[in-house]
Structure 1
Amino acid sequence: MKYTFKTRAILVFFCFMIFINCKDEPAIRNITVNYENAKAVSVSFDFASTKAFSVHLKDRATPILGEYQTEGVTRIFTPVVPFSDGLTYAVVMDEKVVSIFSIKNDTVESPELVGIYPSTNELPENLLKMYFQFSQPMEELGESLEHITVFNRTLNKEEAVFLELESELWNKDHSLLTLWLDPGRIKTDLIPNRKYGLPLLEEHEYEIRIDANFRGANGRPLKNEYTKSFKVGKSDKMKPSPEDWEISVSGDKVSIEFNEPLDAILLKECFRIVNTENKEIPCFSKIEAKEQVLHLVCPQQLNKGEYKLLVDTRLEDLAGNNLNRLFDVDLSSKNNMDTSLQKEIRFKIN
């Protein structure tokens, strides 16, 4: 079966070939890295010999898994996972490196870390989770915690604060990563809590480091290394209180000021505006002041009259307390728990 390239082959970079005891063999010629949808999907070269070859990461003994094909003097290797941009590979025959090539596609942009949430620099001791927003989809190897570390400046040591999950928590396009701090260490009197204590400690200072080797789905490493410094305050033992929120209207914008930072992702999902006929007013969300202010911007200026702000009760603060219950609550308590799905806040435009 004839091998067909779906996109034009691009010769991106290759080093001078190294031969050891190969005087009787013809040279490898025309080594080419082939791209498809900006990914390096195969490598091909001309080599008249019928000797078997393998492709390795440079200085690695284990060959890369993939499919080998021969078409006349052309040899083709298609890896199971596309080659990674910025890495160097070796063609090996008889346990000898006969050629090396590097992947470098200047048309592909490196991913960037565009946000870490919560964005505030003082976090509660019982912080439940953090979000990492990237500019493009990231690799799907399930090894994020190898690239994201937390250093306790107060104790001068690295801390394992994030919960390791078998399946990482990414959004659909793999650009938003959610990392949980161990709930078992946060909930009072659970075995992990008694044995290890809280993941974060009040009055301690920390630094999160995201190294540049964290790669995007296109194989490119992060554009830079990133850090976020924060200090830890007291545990948050209170539910968010809609009664304390301040609502104001200006033109096409309804603004809600909270008395604390709230969950950045849920803020975008948990608010709707309806009129007296319960017809929803189309709006989009804009978050400011380190997740302490939400603007609902409507395409058209709101008319005078009465409106209702509907708030999904799953909205949480940074400690996982939602509008109905505390995260760290005694489940054996006989206190009646609110089970409503939404809260209503009425406001009027004069």
Structure 2
Amino acid sequence: MANWRVDAALLALVLGGGEAGVTGVATGASVTPSGPEVAENLLRIELHLDRPLPAALDMTHVTLLDSAGTPIPDAFLDLPLFDRSGKNVTLLLHPGRIKTGVGPNVALGPAMRSGQSVTLRIDDPQLGRRLEQHWQVTPPLRERIDPRQWTVQAVRQGGRQPLRVVAPAALDGDAAQAIAVQGPDGRRVPGVAMLTAGEREWRFMPAQNWRPGTHLLRIHPRLEDPQGNRLCSAFEQAGQSAQRCEEEGRLAFIIE
């Protein structure tokens, strides 16, 4: 497929505190998952900033609170991960508390439990303001991502109506650029993609009018959801960390 490429900055996480020489607080910040619910086995929370932080995020100022407002101990790894731009920070919940039968899971149980509510609170002064996100906790999601379960909303030729693709569960916050549209001529359809509806909907606005014929959604093999499930395997699948996902996902749809 022509021009099939995913920005490596969205796929490679590096340790660090952002770009050198950047000072001041980040005045704008948002969190994904952005919807009202998260699964019990949530693995990643992503913080999206309008500018890099002057220093690494201070994890002593990152707290997960239970429904009573009490901090949940040992919920996070003390390892915030920054992408190359320094503006996207991944917070990892303790994987040992997520994987069934692993020591911390047996000793402490999951940090979040289905049916409860939790609050993420980040009050690092570098952010300029306290950030809070509230979620209801739902049962764990332990299946691999299956694009056959996605729903493609029909669009018609001759216009630039946004293509809407609805997934049964939220995708990672950086998943927008991991999905592309291939046109009937085999070339990538240019346009702008974004995630909406709590990262459950992928929306694509084409740069030109839709053409009739069979199109393909092409999904990068390293697409993940916030639970760490991938196209080729679920997070809890034996040997998942060593398994290489190399086969992309494809989903055909027709424009008439």
CA distance in 2: counterparts of 1:196 and 1:156, whole angstroms? 16
RMSD over aligned CA atoms reads 2.5
SS at structure 2 position matched to 1:269: helix
Correspondence for 1:139 among 51, 54, 73: 54
Counterpart mapping for 1:79-118 below 5 A: 110-118=25-33
1:173 equivalent in alignment to 2:85? yes
1:325 equivalent in alignment to 2:233? yes
SS at structure 1 position matched to 2:107: helix
Structure 1 stretch displaced more, 271-280 or 129-138 = 271-280
Match of 1:273 in 2: 181
- Contact kept, 8 Å, 1:154 with 1:204, in 2: the verdict is no
- Contact kept, 8 Å, 1:152 with 1:159, in 2: the verdict is no
CA distance in 1: counterparts of 2:69 and 2:53, whole angstroms? 32
Higher strand share: 1
Percent identity of paired positions between Structure 1 and Structure 2: 23
**How far 1:158 moved relative to its partner?**
4.2
TM-score norm. by structure 2 comes to 0.80
Q: Deviations 1:209-247 (Å, cap 9, x if unpaired)?
A: 121x431xxxxxx33222112121111122222112111
Match of 2:249 in 1: 343
Higher helix share: 2
CA distance in 2: counterparts of 1:340 and 1:176, whole angstroms? 25
Distance 1:289 1:143, change over 3 A: closer
**How far 1:159 moved relative to its partner?**
3.0
Correspondence for 2:77 among 151, 155, 163: 163
Match of 1:125 in 2: 40
**How far 1:339 moved relative to its partner?**
5.1
| Greater C-alpha radius of gyration | 1
**How far 1:287 moved relative to its partner?**
1.5
- Contact kept, 8 Å, 2:147 with 2:250, in 1: the verdict is no
Using CA pairs under 8 Å that are at least 6 residues apart, name the structure with larger relative contact order, 1 or 2. Answer: 2
- Contact kept, 8 Å, 1:237 with 1:326, in 2: the verdict is yes
Match of 1:295 in 2: 203
Correspondence for 1:263 among 172, 197, 220: 172
SS at structure 2 position matched to 1:159: coil
Q: Deviations 1:255-300 (Å, cap 9, x if unpaired)?
A: 11111211121x2222111123421111221211111111111111
Match of 2:147 in 1: 242
Distance 1:301 1:200, change over 3 A: same
**How far 1:331 moved relative to its partner?**
3.8
- Contact kept, 8 Å, 1:150 with 1:160, in 2: the verdict is no
Distance 1:263 1:273, change over 3 A: same
SS at structure 1 position matched to 2:177: coil
Match of 2:125 in 1: 214
SS at structure 2 position matched to 1:264: coil
Runs of 4+ in structure 1 over 4 Å off: 337-340
What letter is aligned with 1:196?
L
SS at structure 1 position matched to 2:63: strand
What runs of 5+ residues in structure 2 fail to find an aligned partner? 1-19
Distance 1:146 1:309, change over 3 A: same
SS at structure 1 position matched to 2:254: strand
